[in-house]
Structure 1
């Protein structure tokens, strides 16, 4: 519930302007509900219109993407880039190619990205983009032609000192390669304009693993600090089967957990003996197959249609790594009932407000996405640094920096939570710590 008059007034304005954007409204309200003690302590934020400016993108770009499929037929998709806030650095955030991409989805992701990037401690502003294009079932040639058409428009709005996109759902190494190639061809320049690039042309070691590994470093640090506990011996449920889920599973297993699930948009698999990650990697990274294959290849594994049932699997730790709003209030209640005591988010906003309320009522250790999954953009920031220096760091160097960043996010979140009267609350702490840095920069730079 919103109580502060300034916060209520700004949120009402957002509702009036963007009432048709449910994901964006959800993201803004979740942040605003935790910022009231911050705003009350800093009257200069209201005087400088910080909240009003923070919820309004500096630039929202929407464009047509026309391309030709393998049958010679013209296809048309929508492209988006929301350049939300550049107070602490160039816009930074991924590109998502998925049929569910709308302006609302891109705006919620961009808004979250402002605070997420701030939490890393690196000089990056917030932005996000994508298209309603679905690469599933498309040939490499079709994906290439789409990416080239998409970048032909996007290139006029981005640059290494302006806006540096990365990958997100369905935008991996293949897509980044095609996008980078088209940018280089049109602009006739070789720069670190995209992150997540191949190692042969400016990419960073550990970038592929970063979000999943970072999620586990964050979870481990939070459990150690707040519970004097660890992953060791814990049954863990992971949703999704993309890069985030795969490498969260890999690191959780390294830290002693038994991961028993993974999923895709068709359903989920349950393996009581623990997920055989080599099989999942072969299915998903090897030939972009469906997770159902796992049950055909691993004796004793079960496949279940539909994704919601995954949250009925008894576990100690849940790491949602699929998509937004995958855990609703009913699913969260089932997790709690079946013994789950830790939920840390690898996907962006995977828990509905009702789910978060259920975690909090049950005393679940809850790590919000903007903090827990910041490892990906953190290593993207490190890739930008390497590109600027024209050098490469070793895997161990990057991984060590990633671990330090994620542990610092936990420490800084807990410090901010204590400062604003919510000791031990990682959600309040993450929002407050990320917001204050950006807000102070906005005040210092004047009304712009």
Structure 2
């Protein structure tokens, strides 16, 4: 039985009621009572609180979901107020700033991409603030989530390590001092893993290992339904894993399957105009050139071995692999083959129920900005942490 204090119980019940209304609305107070162990008085009190916070709304007293009028005192019906709050997600990478506005129903209300024409970080931040001000003319934003590459100090809101012109700048402070809205700066892979966990195809799978392949290889981890970022919030730098221990020269995973590694391989082995050489060009060439294909397959094989070791250590339910290179039609199959071919006495045990799949958002425009927005929603504490659909009788929910 849950033995937390009154404030914890109230918070848990409030969040559960919000999710019941989200997934089952329009829903009446008596129907909520039949789904929970919460008293009618407590239900009414929490519903009124959710209404005052613009998270839900009450239908007109004449409203009936089935259209049938019944005798007796009419019940009150409630639905999610999906436009009661908006958050803004921003992603920063390679002189591209992306912006996505999301509402309480996780619907994308605005999506915008801005190409930056200069490398002056202060100018980039000033341009970002201009875009935010334009967004604020249309949406009442409650929170801003900024998804960035590199090692992040969330408390200071800055990139403290990595290949970014914003490195060392207090990004959170520079935006927040002029735009008085709460800002969180988060590692892009952690944001993507939270996004996958909360609203992806495998939402609320308890243990998720999320691999994001971009300029480097990052890992986002969900353990027992909670995002894990390590003692100093620096966990997840998977690309620095050494894949040739014992040799004279250390080689890391980043040397084979990052976007940078593929581009550098082409630069060193092909006669290509460097002005048009980027990961998109490399991926167009990939099906046509066996040498490049072998290089990428080798990297996928190394990733499979690393993921097998992580599976032994972490025992995830699912491994999600994301990034442009992994959508090359053979990449994930090579990863799976490499993982499954690894010899270990525990292999059949730890991989028996393991799923390896692509990201739910691989075709979603501005996915990193979307992840920043969803991370911001999680900071507002308005997203689920239990599966309402699987627990129609909430024995874990207590009356105050």
In the superposition, the TM-score normalised over structure 2's length comes to 0.38
Question: Larger strand proportion, structure 1 or 2?
Answer: 2
Computing the radius of gyration over CA atoms, which structure comes out larger, 1 or 2?
2
Question: Larger helix proportion, structure 1 or 2?
Answer: 1
Bigger relative contact order (CA 8 A; separation at least 6) = 2
In the superposition, the TM-score normalised over structure 1's length comes to 0.35
